[in-house]
Amino acid sequence: LPIDPREGRTWIGVGTALALMVVLFPILKGVIPSGTGAPETGQAMSNTQIIARELFTTYLLPFELASVLLLAAIIGTVLLARKRS
């Protein structure tokens, strides 16, 4: 009987993805502001400048965590897509 060693790994991936969503959702929900603050007086800022300032000051840790998560996903994708010789 040929046995596929990859059998059952789908459920591990689904479980890992669900666990990651359960962990990250409350974190991201607390990080994303519910409203916008009052505009600064005397100084006009573009939306890009406002986003950049908030991203690299207030939300630096979640931004870095997201970048590490994306990097891990890219590396995993490359390893899974690699042809075995």
Tens digit of each residue's pLDDT (9 = 90 or more) over 67-81: 999 999 999 999 888
Residue 24 lies in a domain: no
For 64, the domain range is: 46-85
Residue 38 lies in a domain: no
The model's pLDDT over 15-63, given as tens digits with 9 standing for 90+, comes to 888 888 888 887 777 766 665 566 556 567 788 988 888 888 888 888 8
Residue 51 lies in a domain: yes
Model's pTM, two decimal places?
0.42
Which residue from 35, 29, 34, 37 is spatially nearest to 62, judged by alpha carbons?
29
Rg for the chain, CA atoms, rounded: 20
Distance CA 19, CA 5 (A): 24
Catalogue the long-range contacts made by 16-25 (C-beta closer than 8 Å, 24 or more residues apart). none
Distance CA 85, CA 83 (A): 6
Question: Total domain count for the chain?
Answer: 1
Residue 62 lies in a domain: yes
